[in-house]
Amino acid sequence: MLNPTMAARRSWTPARLSQARQIQPLGRQAGQSRPRSTSLRPRGCQKSYFFCDYPAPPAAAPGPPAVSGRTHRVTNHTSISLTSITPPHHPSHPPQPVAVAPSLPPSALRAAAPLRTGLGFITARTILPILPRAASLRYCSSSSTPPLPRNLSFTTSKPTRRLFSSSSVDMAGTKIDGNAIAKEIREKLHAQIDEQLKTNPRFHPSLKIIQVGDRSDSSTYVKMKLKAAEEAGISCELIHFPESTTEGELIDQIDVLNNDPTVHGILVQLPVPKHISEYSVTSSVANEKDVDGFGAVNIGELAKRGGIPLFTPCTPKGVMKLLESTGVDLKGKKAVVLGRSDIVGSPVSYLLKDADATVTVCHSATQNIESYVKEADIVVSAIGKAHFVKGEWIKPGAIVIDVGTNFIPDETKKSGQTLVGDVDYNAAVEVASHITPVPGGVGPMTVAMLLQNVVDAATSSFARERARKILPLPLKLRTPVPSDIAISRAQHPKQITRVASEVGVLGGELEPYGAYKAKVDLSLLKRLEHRRNGRYVVVTGITPTPLGEGKSTTTMGVTQALGAHLGRIAFANVRQPSQGPTFGIKGGAAGGGYSQVIPMDEFNLHLTGDIHAVTAANNLLAAAIETRMFHENTQKDGGLYKRLVPVKKGKREFQPIWHRRLKKLGIDKTNPDDLTPEEITRFARLDIDPATITWRRVLDVNDRHLRGITVGTAATERGQTRETGFDISVASECMAILALSNSLADMRERLGRMVIGTSRSGEPVTADDLGAGGALAALMKDAIKPNLMQTLEGTPVFVHAGPFANISIGASSVLADKLALKLAGTEADEDHNAKAGFVITEAGFDFTMGGERFFNIKCRSSGLVPDVVVIVATVRALKVHGGGPPIAPGGALDKVYTEENVDILRKGCVNLKKHIENAKQYGVPVVVAINKFETDTEAEVQVIREEAIAAGAEDAIPANHWAEGGAGAVDLAKGVIAASEKEKDFKLLYTTEGTVQERMEAICKKMYGADKVEFSELAQQKVDTYTKQGFGNLPICIAKTQYSLSHDPELKGAPTGFTVPIRDVRLAVGAGYLYALAADIQTIPGLPTAPGYINVDIDTETGEIDGLF
């Protein structure tokens, strides 16, 4: 009978028990022959299981006869439910019902001895695989044999694949074939990669293996991994270091791989030499690339209940996969783990515990290990002692996973040794239900799980790349609105690493400068080159008053609305402010109210030192000019040449920089000694005409007394004096180049092309002629990386470059825009309209100045095209253009600006109309942002809306972001989204094929409303010179007043019929444009009577800065 324990565990009802056939244990009789194999196999199935029958006892013995001399194999498949099978009829014993119950508890089955049924002897370990949860095996009592199910067939042929031996009476345990399972895993991984490549051509899982030294066993293991990776379609590379490699060198290599986004997994082949700390090395691997799973984070998470490790260590993971292959439910099973190493024993115990097994870990100090093993349903041995676990220790029906790898002497082997496990396999296989061999069990699974982890790492990497989400900072609005610095200090910013992570900047692409600002490496452009760019929006304005109309504030407000309120990835891209205006009259440029960049003190002061780098580069070139003229005036040709190309280590060689000059001069020689005297003179003497030098020194302070200076007055300069002056740093051509460069290489070439003057023979002299181009680039190599900050609501901001809007483009950098557009972009399988993020950048002054330069210079250089133009308008400024009294900084506003006056406002809208008309000439949709002030009325706002839409704007939307932050600009942001989805018909205002005069006329007539352009004699002379020198095809930047559409600040509204006087034309070859002066432009402003710096102070206890605005 079924023993009480089995019956209880199965919880059969009395009715069901009464139907069961009596089953008696019976051993194999002496002298019985080994049964012949017969298979019972559902068609299309792959795995087979055996049960045995033997000749029945004598006729007098009770019980039905068995089918004689048969071993039956039943093939099981998850999609098959075995049904009725009737055994042959025996004349002495009519068929009687025999039932093997479905889903017998595994514990009950393991407890049973070999059982005799109407079909013969069946061991418990063979019943288990026969009976999956939904399967049944029943012998009917009908007098005739029913037909077999259609999905079953009998064969007597030899099985094509046997997972275990059936040679003994009790049936040997199933050999768990690690090689076969590992092969299947590799094939699945290859198929998975192929499938991923269909939608993501960049999906190439990559593993880097680092091996230090030449241990033969390590080399063997590495070869196995390389081969297996190739079979799985995984890129795998070995990086081999000599035994003498230091720990620091090894960690440096790991850091390089950590920061390489194309590498998904890093494996340090252990052991490493004794002079290297294994812990330090493995801990250096980035958590997301720790595919070996032994980093502190992964092991720690694995050990926690409910922990979520990124990766499970490979061998323990393989052990669990092998257990899974047996089909046994581990819940409640007694599991004994032999060994407590960090490599196998401990991690396996964590995994078994998580599978709800009852786990005991035995180790070198455990007493009477045998007693623990005998009680175990599952035994995992990882102690490294050959045949430590004896066959008699194994509980009948237990599962044995042998992780041990031990070599013992074997004279039959060529090597003189053979590999065995911790378990006496030959003895244990006769008792266990399932057992892994050594080799061919756990070993191949370890490698397979490593490959699985690499593919998982690659999948996670691409998932992280796509999973971008800005988590906004809450705003606590106050009324009345506090000062800008008070608002900035009241908001606690995110760590800049978090800002970067939210938008998909990788750790290796970020260079933090403190807690709240960082540089972003340009390598990001290569990583994300496959993405479609996000939406590109340029914010400009109407012709402003001296108080400004809030372009920067609007830029921040729209960005906060998009990123913090509408769920879009949104970047604000703005210029770095100069310290001149910050300490002068204008103040900072962080925005204002509840729409600004934070921390505003860090934004306005130094930031990451880019302006200082520009200053250093500019002034190095100025020094190079002066010193070259001095030495040329005091040395003969031969001596000058020898000093420029000195002998080093007995040999004279050209420095790399001089090859550029040789090429320019057409001297095709590389040996300095081969130059002729005439060639030496041409090479060594630049012969700069001091009267033509345009290069001036710079500094980032409004120091009016440096506008004109005399240099060379010291006695040491031998009377070589020269009149020159200073500009503000942001007016340097180096700053314009920083803004317009597309790469570090592009910046280097532009810096070298800068023309500082001409020779007495009329040839342009460049920075590379002076040998300074490379040094300038070296000083600015970090400055070219955009700076990342955040708005008050935690949305990202790129702050980069700050070219002087009076004489340059007045816009942030091309590279910042390109980085942001990729970070805000979409993947190939994403809905661009629904998912595309936004980059909101700003152009200096009004559209007619900043916007025109943005399109004709910046876009021409970058190749980028905006999707929307936003023109910021205020009631106050439009009233000025409608005839209102002048507005002076610091003065009280006339009541016309604080009270409703629709008539003067409507008259002033002519200025807004002209800017809309100008913007539409470029074929880009226009949205007007009405920046609301407290004194504006609804009637006045409605007038602006009517006039703007009538002029061709897509919409004109009021916004109150200054007082309400992003929430106050949600409607405006929605309008920008809608406009960005409209078709564009982009075109530039002019080509560069005509003359300089034609291009200037196109700007003055089409943008300003002028009738004609008038060139001074000096301007015309310079245009002729530049054209002769080959610079006549450059774009044009016209420097004029920002307070009028014309050149005259007194002409308000939309004047026409005037003549624009061009007083001077200057050359910026490196930046790539000519700039004409249509007014008396001060390139280094002065300070007012009460400059801004008198308000600035610092709390010496907290370090907080006050007084900035």
Query: How many Cα neighbours within 13 Å face the side chain of 483?
Result: 12
Give the number of other CB atoms < 10 A from CB of residue 402.
26
Beta bridge pairs of residue 400:
379, 435
Give the separation between CA 380 and CA 383, rounded to whole angstroms: 10
Is the separation of the CB atoms in 547 and 852 below 8 Å?
Answer: no
Is the separation of the CB atoms in 125 and 433 below 8 Å?
Answer: yes
Q: Reduce the DSSP state of residue 832 to 3 states and report it.
A: helix
* Lookup: tokens for 1038: 């016209």
Contacts of 822 (CB under 8 A, 6+ apart): 524, 525, 528, 529, 531, 533, 534
Is the separation of the CB atoms in 1071 and 808 below 8 Å?
Answer: yes
* Lookup: tokens for 555: 């830029």
- Cis omega before residue 106 (within 30°)? no
Is the separation of the CB atoms in 941 and 534 below 8 Å?
Answer: no
What is the number of helices (H) and of strands (E) in the chain?
38, 47
User: Annotated catalytic, 353?
Assistant: no
Beta bridge pairs of residue 212:
241
DSSP for 434-496 reads EE--SSSSHHHHHHHHHHHHHHHHHHHHHHHHH-----PPP----SS---HHHHHHHS-PPPH
User: Annotated catalytic, 269?
Assistant: yes
Beta bridge pairs of residue 727:
698
Amino acid found at 69: G
* Lookup: tokens for 1061: 């006087």
Q: Reduce the DSSP state of residue 159 to 3 states and report it.
A: coil
Identify the active-site residue in 177, 292, 377, 769. Answer: 292
Give the torsion sign (CA, 500, 501, 504, 510): positive
- Write down the residue that tokens 């790991």 correspond to: 254
What's the residue count for the chain? 1109
Is the separation of the CB atoms in 108 and 5 below 8 Å?
Answer: yes
Give the separation between CA 371 and CA 412, rounded to whole angstroms: 35
Is the separation of the CB atoms in 981 and 868 below 8 Å?
Answer: no
Q: Which of 422, 418, 380, 431 is nearest to 401 (CA)?
A: 380
Identify the active-site residue in 225, 289, 395, 785. Answer: 225
Angle at the Cα of 1053 from the Cα atoms of 1049 and 1056, rounded to 5 degrees: 85
289-303 burial: b if 16+ Cβ within 10 Å, else e: bbbbbbbebbbebbe
- Write down the residue that tokens 């819940």 correspond to: 331
Beta bridge pairs of residue 710:
723
- Cis omega before residue 147 (within 30°)? no
Residue 513, judged by CB atoms within 10 A of its CB (0-12, 13-18, 19+), counts as middle
Amino acid found at 609: G
Contacts of 918 (CB under 8 A, 6+ apart): 847, 848, 851, 852, 1006, 1007
- Write down the residue that tokens 């103040």 correspond to: 587
643-655 burial: b if 16+ Cβ within 10 Å, else e: ebbeeeeeeeebe
Helix 442-466 with 216-232: angle, nearest 10 deg: 60
User: Annotated catalytic, 225?
Assistant: yes
* Lookup: tokens for 738: 């920083």
Identify the active-site residue in 269, 560, 579, 596. Answer: 269
Q: Which helix (H) or strand (E) holds 636?
A: none
Catalytic positions, please? 225, 269, 292
